[in-house]
Amino acid sequence: MNIGNVREFLASINPNDLDNIDMRMIQKMGEGVASFAPQLSVNMKQELKDFYCEVLNNSFFDIKQAEYNPNIVMEGTLQVSSLDTAHIREVINDIESEDNYVGDMEEVDLNNLNYYSFKFTQDNQSLYIFRRFTKMKKIRNGILGIFQDNSFKKLEAKKFFGIDRDIDIIIFEDQVLIVNRFALQTIFKLNDYFIERTTLALEKLDQGEVIENFNDFQKDCINDKMAARRMTKIINTPRRIEDFLEHIDQLPTVIQQFDLEIELSEENKIKYNGTKEARSQILYCISDAYYQSFILQRLGEDPS
């Protein structure tokens, strides 16, 4: 994601234009959402624009970007993905659907809100900013007040809503900048995404008929979060499964060199024994994670 383009786009927003800044407060409701859309005055729009322009000008957003990897985080990077990750596109459609719109802000229960978002729109282009909602219970359960006319006066805290400087997810030009990976689950549908991608990977693998008692392997991969993340990375890598199946004859050599727990049948099929270690090693083989270095001829494995 070109963060410079994001900054320029946000700076170009005119707060006087109608419907160019949209705020949503979201409550998850089972598989759906309730989407509250408070009205914003021109002054508040200007405040929000200035606020996020200042936040995004922080040098933090200039650090190196890397493609989203469900298995590991590369230190010192922000990760970028498509809107298909964690069903982000689907969630945005849910938020903006008229069926999920709640017009009466009196129905908002701040204790039930999960996150909020801002959509900045100009010339048919949109910038989304997502942030998990911090309930601020200590403030809400205390006494909130202001100094006025040399006195300290209490403010009603039950409806107190705070917007902090943290951003979890930025969406612009069909790209997702993941500032907080945890938000992929709390805001979007990461587990559903992993299961869907894992199921697709397993279907392709099943067609190769290289694993005995495949049904057990399939069930264990779907129920094992670590395995599902690795399967997602495998299916998201073009031709990774196809290449594994085409070079399955190399598997006995890998098993021997790396002393793997994997056993092969007389037909050269993988005999899955149901252990977590064997499952992990099979996935490492599929993802071509075992290697030998050129200079020292050192054997190793790539955790990514």
Q: Span 90-114, mean pLDDT?
A: 91
Confidence band for 75, pLDDT divided at 50, 70 and 90: confident
Q: Higher pLDDT residue, 144 or 112?
A: 112
- Please tell me the predicted confidence (pLDDT) of residue 97: 96
Share of the chain above pLDDT 70, in %: 96
- Please tell me the predicted confidence (pLDDT) of residue 161: 79
Q: Which of 28-32, 115-119, 149-153, 180-184 has the lowest mean pLDDT?
A: 149-153
CB-CB neighbours of 115 under 10 Å: 22
CB-CB neighbours of 252 under 10 Å: 12
Confidence band for 281, pLDDT divided at 50, 70 and 90: very high
The whole-angstrom separation of Cα 296 and Cα 289 is: 18
Confidence band for 231, pLDDT divided at 50, 70 and 90: very high
Q: CA nearest 24: which of 158, 159, 161?
A: 161
Domain boundaries, the chain: 3-188, 192-301
* pLDDT for residue 32 is more than 70: yes
Q: Which of 99-113, 171-185, 230-244 has the lowest mean pLDDT?
A: 99-113
* pLDDT for residue 222 is more than 90: yes
- Please tell me the predicted confidence (pLDDT) of residue 227: 97
SS (H, E, C) the chain: CCHHHHHHHHHHCCCCCCCCEEEEEEEEECCEEEEECCCCCHHHHHHHHHHHHHHHCCHHHHCCEEECCCCCCCCCCEEEECCCHHHHHHHHHHHHCHHHEECCHHHCCHHHCCEEEEEEEECCEEEEEEEECCCCHHHHCCCEEEEECCEEEEECCCCCCCCCCCCCEEEECCEEEECCCCHHHHCCCHHHHHHHHHHHHHHHHHHHCCEECHHHHHHHHHHCHHHHHHHHHHHHCCCHHHHHHHCHHHHHHHHHHCCCCCEECCCCCEECCCCHHHHHHHHHHHCCCEEECCCCCCEEECCC
Give this prediction's pTM: 0.90
Provide the mean pLDDT of the chain.
92
The whole-angstrom separation of Cα 294 and Cα 238 is: 25
Q: Span 273-291, mean pLDDT?
A: 95
Distances (CA, A) of 53 to 2, 9, 56: 15, 10, 5
Q: Which of 141-150, 173-182, 228-237, 257-266 has the lowest mean pLDDT?
A: 141-150
- Please tell me the predicted confidence (pLDDT) of residue 73: 86
* pLDDT for residue 202 is more than 90: yes
Confidence band for 262, pLDDT divided at 50, 70 and 90: very high
* pLDDT for residue 210 is more than 90: yes
* pLDDT for residue 22 is more than 80: yes
